[in-house]
């Protein structure tokens, strides 16, 4: 079974495991094999559910490592399952509303925005008053999101960068 750019699951998981090791989070062989089995089982369930139909839209998988080192998967975060395949949330005005996560820290606030396949040169972040507007274009359509930043702990827009489908915005 393969995933992403045709890489087999075990190769992808080995890459993830190596990154976790570098971050000081090592899985036991048993935990690693269980995570791999869970992911492959989920992939087979998708194949059965959608009967081999092409899946339009964009689908996300999140892997979090708990304090005990056990990986936890959440499939379908930031997306909605509709029709014959998973889709991002389409706003009534025809644009894609990306998944956004806000993390407030003592020294900064991070806003993480998922915009898979957005074209790098189309990503725009603008702040006007208490509104942060995020825009990008992808083959699937236009991403748009306006955030009310009054609830952010830090409100001065310091920087933003887009890489591999993820926009990171830093406030200080």
Residue by residue, DSSP assigns 8-25 as: EHHHHHHHHHHHHHHTT-
Question: Are 112 and 81 contained in the same domain?
Answer: no
Of residues 63, 149, 62, 73, the one with CA closest to residue 114? 62
Query: Among 30-39, 94-103, 123-132, which range has the highest average pLDDT?
Result: 123-132
Mean pLDDT of the chain: 76
Residue 24: how many CB atoms within 10 A of its CB?
6
Domain that includes residue 38, residue range: 2-87
**Average pLDDT of 84-100?**
67
Q: How far is CA 15 from CA 33, 82, 87, in A?
A: 14, 31, 27
1 or 15, higher pLDDT: 15
Question: Are 80 and 96 contained in the same domain?
Answer: no
* 116-158 residue pLDDT tens: 889 999 999 999 999 999 999 988 789 999 999 988 888 899 9
Query: Among 10-24, 62-76, 91-105, which range has the highest average pLDDT?
Result: 91-105
Q: Identify the domain boundary among 87, 105, 137.
A: 87
What was the pLDDT predicted at 85?
37
Helix ranges (DSSP H) in the chain: 9-22, 29-50
What was the pLDDT predicted at 49?
59
What was the pLDDT predicted at 27?
74
Spatial distance between the Cα atoms of 37 and 50, rounded to a whole number of angstroms? 20
73 or 19, higher pLDDT: 19
Q: Identify the domain boundary among 30, 62, 87.
A: 87
The torsion defined by the Cα of 57, 115, 73 and 54, in degrees rounded to 10, comes to 20
52 or 48, higher pLDDT: 48
Of residues 16, 46, 49, the one with CA closest to residue 31? 16
135 or 4, higher pLDDT: 135
* 68-91 residue pLDDT tens: 777 666 554 443 444 333 445 666
**Average pLDDT of 35-64?**
63
How many domains are contained in the chain? 2
Q: Identify the domain boundary among 42, 67, 87.
A: 87
Spatial distance between the Cα atoms of 71 and 102, rounded to a whole number of angstroms? 22
* Sequence-ordered strand ranges (E) for 83-122: 85-88, 99-104, 109-114
């Amino acid at each position: 079974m393969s995933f992403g750019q045709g890489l087999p699951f075990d190769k992808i998981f080995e890459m993830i495991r190596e990154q976790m090791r570098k971050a000081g989070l090592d899985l036991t062989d048993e935990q690693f094999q269980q995570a791999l089995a869970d992911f492959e089982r989920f992939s087979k369930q998708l194949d059965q559910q959608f009967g081999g139909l092409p899946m339009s839209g964009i689908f996300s998988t999140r892997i979090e490592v708990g304090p005990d080192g056990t990986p936890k998967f959440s499939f379908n975060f930031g997306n909605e399952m509709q029709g014959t395949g998973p889709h991002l949330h389409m706003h009534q005005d025809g644009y894609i509303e990306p998944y956004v996560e806000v993390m407030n820290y003592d020294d900064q606030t991070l806003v993480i925005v998922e915009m898979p396949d957005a074209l790098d040169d189309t990503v725009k972040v603008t702040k006007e008053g208490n509104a942060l507007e995020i825009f990008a274009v992808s083959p699937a359509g236009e991403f748009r999101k306006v955030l009310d930043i009054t609830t952010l702990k830090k409100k001065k827009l310091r920087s933003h960068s887009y890489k591999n489908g993820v926009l990171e915005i830093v406030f200080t």
